[in-house]
Amino acid sequence: SFCSNFDMALSSILTEAEIAAGLQSCQADNTFDYKTFFVKVGLNSKSKDQVAKVFGILDQDRSGFIEEEELKLFLKNFSASARALTDAETKAFLAAGDSDGDGKIGVDGKSVLIKR
């Protein structure tokens, strides 16, 4: 099923402890900060290849882009019990990675987000 593939793919890149630390940092509404989150889960120290894998997992409809709807559920990819992002968080996250203003994050935008 989608979930188990997902967990397997993600756990080959991130440890449970890293994921837990990331989720811990943004439990309350409007406390999600993508920079903090990526640092906590250790994504900023992963290889380009690993980052691309994570991006592929988040891009649930395989469009090559992460859309607002997919971003909203970003945290749920890391844990089924995690919350959805608020509209404000989703918009801030989207704005940070949307390099060309088309309302979604493409492959170039994701490296900007993670390495910034």
Q: Which residues contact 94 (CB under 8 A, 6 or more apart)?
A: 68, 71, 103, 104, 105
pLDDT, tens digit, 9 for 90 and up, residues 11-65: 888 999 999 999 999 999 999 999 999 999 998 888 888 888 888 888 888 898 9
Binding annotation: 59, 61, 63, 65, 70, 98, 100, 102, 104
Into which CATH architecture does domain 5-114 fall? Orthogonal Bundle (1.10)
Phi, psi angles (nearest 5°) of residue 67: -90, 170
**7 burial via Cβ count (<10 Å: 0-12, 13-18, 19+):** middle
Where is the binding site for Ca(2+), in residues?
59, 61, 63, 65, 70, 98, 100, 102, 104
Helical (H) or strand (E) element with 107: helix 107-115
**Predicted structure pTM score:** 0.84
Q: Grade residue 6 by pLDDT with cuts at 50, 70 and 90.
A: low
Higher pLDDT, residue 112 or 30? 30
Q: What distance in Å separates the CA atoms of residue 7 and residue 110, rounded to the nearest whole number?
A: 20
Tens digits of residue pLDDT in 89-100: 999 999 998 888
Whether residue 10 has pLDDT greater than 70: yes
